[in-house]
Structure 1
């Protein structure tokens, strides 16, 4: 089975635009054969191209004749004349790209850094001054990061030693690496975990050791999710996911941004914010409340509130003893 990386897909879609501008009414089957992918993949690529442009209104986005595509299986492309034009950026847009590239550079290595540094130099030159923002991510062992990136580029499995802070334990795992990405200022590895027999996300700063094997990955990202390039959420609550309704003092309002939470009432009691906060299990939720004692108040379930009070009293009693 041939897999496609995000960069390969981007290059293919960029090449498809001038090809379709020069060849109107190309059958999907012919387009798929020309670019060496399936007809289903071509349809997915076209759906992404339709969201590409210089604005958000008619004439500013690439247009695909959906009627001809669905009825006759042929592709007509319109409103893509902006592609050859030089890109113009405002100072704010260029500064945003500079910050994004600096963040991306934290996860890059070797030739990737050279390409990013070249793009940064051009953007900073265009802005006229360096963007007044620097990017700092949690420290990640450089050797571990390089090992992970090497396994990713070569399609090899990884042996990891991972620290799970919530349970204060270390586990060894064999994984098929899929991608490294940045979320909320941290670097993560998305992978298929053979121990869990499921997709798992690992924080790079919590990987204590990483060893690249010579074994090829058994399960690719494309085979698991149909080749989509949309990153999965780090944590997606389901109908059975444990949660607690909490009242947050203003000093604990940051929990809404840090964890999976929904605001129930922004004026629950004075300056407090009532939220529904999800966790992996009730013991994790109990530890979160205890760590933020005095700033987080349990509304429901009542059992959680009782457990927090009991554990806090036991801790105080231990000090008295």
Structure 2
């Protein structure tokens, strides 16, 4: 069972357990559920966003002072757990959209479960769910996706061949997978990378190959991290080139870190194109020769011209 599923199952059991054991030390709760006290504390903080509404009295609450200072758990405002679940049309539609998004990144037996839940929700909500909602997630290799899902379900280590765009290279990584999720239409794998000895995010459309190994994945004690902590980000010192992107190069804006500045009448886009270093930027421009024109800096434009001339002379020599 994946970690996210384990957490959901644990949290569903936590509420009735705490209702019957009010004032119990958090260490005893952790021992009962077979996890660390830190995990229980994280579960409780997440449960505080759960309830029948969004205001005080409608959300599960805990005595944080008692939890932090005395290490004991007092649960409040959780009586709704004993009542039959009723959701509004707005909540139902939100769940339907979430399930449609989840379905776009699911595979195998997961699809059967999701489709069953969707059918029940759509039937209960009625016409409110008929409004067109397009969930667009980039397609990935089905074999790669299936291997990663299998590794997550069975707790196995993966060997990935991964294309790192910012450095224009491929690398082979042994990783312990933690979860799959979508962000801005992209499907990501969160995993512990043994080479980096740290948590990393891998975009599935950049995974060249994924092999499930016989080695059991280890449960690394790491703090949850936001996606922005693990991907290429732009800073004040990040190299960039001012370029003109002709129509055949417009696809670069969807795949690389680009700031669009203006669009001309002849469909040429002026943009800032960011990269990990100047050598990578030079190679990217050369690979798109004729479609990308370097405006600034002049040194990069000169390097591109020089390398292009050397390549052409090599053909002439032959």
Give the TM-score range, shorter chain. Answer: 0.7 to 0.9
- What does the per-residue CA deviation read over 1:88-141, in whole Å, with 9 as the maximum and x for residues that have no partner? 2334x4344333322212332233211111111122222425441333433322
Whole-angstrom distance in 2 between the partners of 1:289 and 1:60: 56
String of CA shifts for 1:121-166, please: whole Å, max 9, x gaps: 1222224254413334333222221112111222222223333455
Q: Which residue of 2 aligns with 1:86?
A: 85
TM-score, normalised to structure 2's length?
0.73
Q: Distance in 1 between matches of 2:55 and 2:280?
A: 46
Q: Describe the SS at the equivalent of 1:200.
A: strand
Taking the aligned partners of 1:232 and 1:256, their CA distance within structure 2 comes to 19
Most deviating of 42-51 and 82-91: 82-91
Provide closer, same or farther for how the CA distance between residues 189 and 29 of structure 1 changes in structure 2, counting only shifts above 3 A. Answer: closer
Q: Report if the CA contact (8 A) 2:282-2:303 is conserved.
A: no
Residues of 2 paired with 1:38 and 1:85: CA distance? Answer: 32
Q: Mind listing any 5+ residue stretches in structure 1 that lack a counterpart?
A: 268-273, 299-303
What is the distance in 2 between the residues matched to 1:55 and 1:285?
Answer: 50
Q: CA deviation at 1:81?
A: 2.8
Give me the whole-angstrom Cα distance separating, in 1, the residues matched to 2:58 and 2:31.
29
Which of 297, 304, 315 is matched with 1:311 structurally? 304
SS of the equivalent of 1:82 reads: helix
Tell me, yes or no, if the aligned pair for 2:51 and 2:59 is still in contact at 8 Å: yes
Q: How does 1:2-17 map to 2 (within 5 A)?
A: 5-17=3-15
Q: Deviations over 1:248-286 (max 9, x none)?
A: 99x9999999766899xx99xxxxxx9998643344456
Unpaired segments ≥5 residues, structure 2: 263-269
Q: CA deviation at 1:213?
A: 1.4
Aligned to 2:277: 281
Report 1:8-47 matches (<5 A). Answer: 8-47=6-45
Asked if 2 retains the 8 angstrom alpha-carbon contact of 1:156 and 1:213, the reply is yes
* CA RMSD across the alignment: 4.2
Q: TM-score, normalised by structure 1?
A: 0.72
- Bigger CA drift: 252-261 or 277-286? 252-261
